[in-house]
Amino acid sequence: MTEPKITIAPDTASELASGEPELMAEVAVKKTAKPRRGRPPKAARGTQDTRAELIRSGLEQLTENGFASSGIDQILKKVGVPKGSFYYYFPSKEAFGQAVIENYATYFAYNLDKHLLDDSNPPLARIGQFVESAKAGMDKYAFKRGCLVGNLGQEVDLLPDSFRQQLIDIFLDWQHRLSICLEAAKAQGEIAKNANCELLAEQFWVGWEGAVSRAKLVQSTQPLQNYLEFFIAGLTR
């Protein structure tokens, strides 16, 4: 069964603009409900609301513990959904993981655009704004949560095969969004005219995941700041 697409509902888009990580799961599921295997839930709450709550709980678990170590039982218990009802909302754990990843990617792309497309600031300053947002998010959650996509990339050999291409596509999307900002920096004379913005954007995300991992390890945002300064210095030499 093909997993329905997850999109930002109009009433949640403005909330996502605040950049709060916990709002990732406020991305609503727009789909036509179809009968699924599994025990129907006894609760009267809507299917879409419960599905969104499961995704929210999954985001917390996967961001902190990874996919392989995150059991469905703990996610269901937090939401108050019986184990037998899980397959009413998702056809498999793999489909659930795909939905969680897509939800995170949608939020992250929205947050990137919020900062990188902010033409009230110079292009390179926009990258700094994004980093400040990331620093605030890591500090808020006491460095227990990092980048879901980066975390899953590190355990990709333990994941379902479908996750690999999904993660690659997300990184390529982030790379493209950053390259647009870097092209603007080139046009405004902030970086060299011959700069390869796609390659620079790729290098940023490769290094960024390492900086996020180090920040979790030392429980400090300083690695993120250090990486930003290192990256910007390399652009302007």
Q: Domain limits of the chain?
A: 10-236
Span 105-127, pLDDT tens digits = 999 999 999 999 999 999 999 99
| Cα–Cα distance measured from residue 152 to residue 169, given in angstroms and rounded to the nearest whole number | 13
CATH of domain 10-236: 1.10.357.10
Assess whether pLDDT exceeds 90 at residue 171.
yes
Q: Tell which residue, 172, 131, 160, 181, has the closest CA to residue 19.
A: 131
| Cα–Cα distance measured from residue 176 to residue 116, given in angstroms and rounded to the nearest whole number | 11
Percent of the chain with pLDDT over 70: 80
Query: Using the 8-state DSSP alphabet, how is residue 29 labeled?
Result: B
Please tell me the least confidently modeled range out of 44-48, 89-93, 154-158, 202-206. 44-48
Residue 45 is predicted with a pLDDT of 52
Per the DSSP assignment, residues forming a β-bridge with 124 are: none
